[in-house]
Amino acid sequence: MKTLIEHPQGNLRTDLSKPIDISLPLKNGAENPNAWYVPPPEISPVKDGDFTGSVAAGSSTNFNNVFFNPHAHGTHTECVGHISKEFHSVNRELKTFFFLGRVITVAPEARGEDLVISKDYLAAAWGNDFAEAIIIRTLPNDTSKKTKQYSHTNPPYLEEAAAKWMAEKGIKHLLIDLPSVDKEKDDGKLLAHKAFWNYPEAPRKETTITEFIYVPDSVEDGLYLLNLQIASFENDASPSKPVLYRVEFEERV
């Protein structure tokens, strides 16, 4: 199913029958990416006396409890409520779900013992393009990202100036294949989160950060239609399913 999208540089066409899912599924046990020092997610049947919610155990249905942390276990989308004193729900702040986004592949720079994604690198890759979302794929990009245990590993992170540049460019949605846009152990400064959301001065409540994505090597850098799907959680963050669709410029007549 093909559809037409208006764009300042000309109309774009995309085929909605060819989705590219860049989310990571939530599984029972340790075969998930994990961060922030919490146990792995658990999906297990409800047990109540002689009842076990499993067809294999004799029940008429499978009836599972799911225990997880959206920030620590897999792909999730968060709003400014993640860092604010005031309650903000991602389910209320994210009101539309289709955006033009640009995939950019970056090689984080070594700075002492850290690996940092710089403003200069992102700005050069972005150029003068128009898009509402930035989708960042970091190198190396092997499939170990799908199950990596990030706690106490000091993963790469986003330079504060890079997050501020995004806010100034009007980028509304930031997606990245890391557990956080900030340094793992930063004494609670959260510089990139605060810069992107312009918090606390004038919070950009309609904007989001999505972490723990995975963009396969087969996806080329460039412009895509992004469908950012979330579960209806009244919480600062929700598990999410970002999906990309390739786009092509329509020739002007």
- Are the CB atoms for 247 and 14 separated by under 8 Å? yes
| Alpha-carbon span 25 to 74, nearest angstrom | 7
Average pLDDT over residues 137-161: 97
| Alpha-carbon span 81 to 121, nearest angstrom | 29
Radius of gyration of the chain (CA): 19
Q: Which of the four pLDDT bands, split at 50, 70 and 90, describes residue 4?
A: low
Instruction: Return all residues near 122 (Cβ < 8 A) that are at least 6 apart.
Output: 104, 106, 134, 136, 162, 165, 166
- pLDDT score, position 252: 54
Strands 2-5 and 42-45: unpaired
* 33 part of a folded domain: no
The one-letter code for the residue type at 9 is Q
With 70 as the cut, is the pLDDT of residue 89 above it? yes
- Are the CB atoms for 70 and 233 separated by under 8 Å? yes
* 43 part of a folded domain: no
Average pLDDT over residues 85-91: 97
3-class state of residue 246 by DSSP = strand
* 211 part of a folded domain: yes
Closest by alpha carbon to 25, among 68, 80, 61?
A: 68
Split into its structural domains, the chain has a count of 1
Q: What angle do CA 19, 23, 28 make, to 5 degrees?
A: 130
* 181 part of a folded domain: yes
Average pLDDT over residues 12-16: 90
Q: Which of the four pLDDT bands, split at 50, 70 and 90, describes residue 7?
A: low
Domain CATH number, residue 201: 3.50.30.50
Average pLDDT over residues 4-24: 85
- pLDDT score, position 114: 98
* 35 part of a folded domain: no
Average pLDDT over residues 131-135: 97
With 80 as the cut, is the pLDDT of residue 155 above it? yes
Average pLDDT over residues 132-141: 98
- pLDDT score, position 129: 78
DSSP conformation class of 127: T
3-class state of residue 93 by DSSP = helix
* 34 part of a folded domain: no
Residue-number span of the structural domain to which 92 is assigned: 2-27+70-249
202-248 per-position pLDDT tens digit = 999 999 999 999 999 999 999 999 999 999 999 999 999 999 999 98
Instruction: Please give the torsion angle defined by the CA atoms of residues 15, 16, 20 and 24, in that order, rounded to the nearest 10 degrees.
Output: 170
Q: Which of the four pLDDT bands, split at 50, 70 and 90, describes residue 9?
A: low
| Alpha-carbon span 246 to 146, nearest angstrom | 23
* 36 part of a folded domain: no
